[in-house]
Amino acid sequence: MVVEDKEVRINNRIRAREVRLIGAEGQQVGIVPTWDALKMAEEAGLDLVEVGGQAVPPVCRIMDYGKFKYQRKKRQQEARKRQFIVQLKEVKIRYKTDDHDLATKSRQAKEFLMEGHKVKYVMFFKGREVQFAGLGLQTMEKIAAEMMEVATLERPPRMEGRLLAMYLASKGPVAKKKDAEGDEDAEDQDE
């Protein structure tokens, strides 16, 4: 949970009559009137910071507010670094695309899936080509069957106007296991 500066009350901005106080060294002081807590913080040369405003009474801690803000900012940056955003990658094919080209597109899609992204296969029909939607559906089902080792079918092939679309989602851990197995094979070859 990210706490914004507006929500964090310090010193005289704390509105509660009593607070559950945590001392400067992290020891539990107990439930104390707010003015006594403020006096203790002032004597220590630190700030009284409300860290748990939803609790009754609110939880406050005696600490250096500048240091608290700095540490919170660092934690948020670390969390952002470790975050992985799943993207939707689109692979466009036609109902008359050759087998070799389909294999190339499938290889690209597998790479996307192994990276953890989602893949949308799109087949567009121009003009009278819509009458060949059955062939397109067969092609899409064949692709889906090939992809089942690294993906799950999120949405089966479905016509959307002149477009035949299918969504695949990464299985994730299976792809990572394959990478790990590949690394072990490389080590065996070195020996």
Co-location of 108 and 170 in the same domain: yes
Q: Which of 34, 31, 33, 30 is nearest to 49 (CA)?
A: 34
pLDDT one-digit tens code per residue, 35-79: 888 888 888 888 888 888 777 888 888 888 888 888 889 988 888
| Structural domains counted in the chain | 2
- Host domain of residue 32: 11-81
Instruction: Give the model's pLDDT for residue 180.
Output: 44
CA distances 10 to 24, 72, 75, Å, are: 15, 15, 20
- Domain boundary residue among 62, 81, 100? 81
Question: How are beta strands 47-52 and 163-170 bridged, if at all?
Answer: unpaired
pLDDT one-digit tens code per residue, 128-187: 888 888 999 999 999 999 888 888 888 999 998 889 999 999 886 443 434 444 444 445
User: Is 3 domain-assigned?
Assistant: no
Co-location of 31 and 121 in the same domain: no
Asked whether the predicted pLDDT for residue 120 surpasses 90, the reply is yes
- Domain boundary residue among 59, 81, 103? 81
Instruction: Give the model's pLDDT for residue 177.
Output: 39
Co-location of 59 and 101 in the same domain: no
Question: The pTM is what?
Answer: 0.50
